[in-house]
Homo-oligomer: A and B are copies of this chain.
Amino acid sequence: MSKGDLTKEHIVAQAAPIFNRSGFAGTSLSELMAATGLQKGGIYRHFKSKEELAAAAFDHAWRRAWNARWSGIDKNAGAIGRLKQFVANFIDNRAELVPGGCPVLNTAVDSDDGNLALRDRARKALTRWIRRIEQIVSAGIASGEIRSNVDPRVAATILVATLEGALMIGRLQRSNLALEQAREYLIGFLEGLANAGRKEAPAVRSSKSLE
């Protein structure tokens, strides 16, 4: 890696938590300079614009989130086991994310009239994310593990929506409760997808820890 590449990587790593916390419009050059220890010229020697730096910062933050959420997935034999691991990773590996939380949630809610290229990047990241879950569900249907009347796209959307919604609730409540409720509910949801699964509707159960 050249010295220039190392500097570029350093800038992105330092900029990522700032953009992730403050949004595109909310991130100031002075914060970027303070975080990187570089002057304006030192930063913009490596990036054409704030837009380009924000996109690189998003990619960095998303790579971290992606790795945290899919870590150890392939150790699980079946589709349902993999998806349960994904749910556990989403909740338990949050400390591995770039500070500021989920970059897709943050970018989705960030001011609409901001950086359109950045929104497009976040949209594509979300689409790939839903698609990866969809593929695991489809593989589970193909192997006979999951019922054939399950729509893989719907299952994937519900998983992501429930987790991201619970993340938002927990962020406002400064509490893990909503995520723990989502975890337990989604385990029931995933078990309910099984061909050989329980025949009763998955109960919205309370666990001892939630009573």
A residues with a Cβ closer than 8 A to B are 21-23, 25-26, 100, 104-113, 119, 122-123, 126-127, 130, 147, 149-151, 153-155, 157-158, 160-166, 168-169, 171-174, 177-178, 181-182, 184-185, 192-193, 197-206, 210
Contacts and interface: CB of A to CB of B under 8 A. Distances in A.
A154 B205 contact: yes
A161 B149 contact: no
Contacts of A123: 172-174
A201 B185 CA distance: 13
A171 B108 contact: yes
A135 to B, nearest CB: 16
A165 B172 contact: no
B201 A171 contact: no
Contacts of A111: 21-23, 26
B158 A162 contact: yes
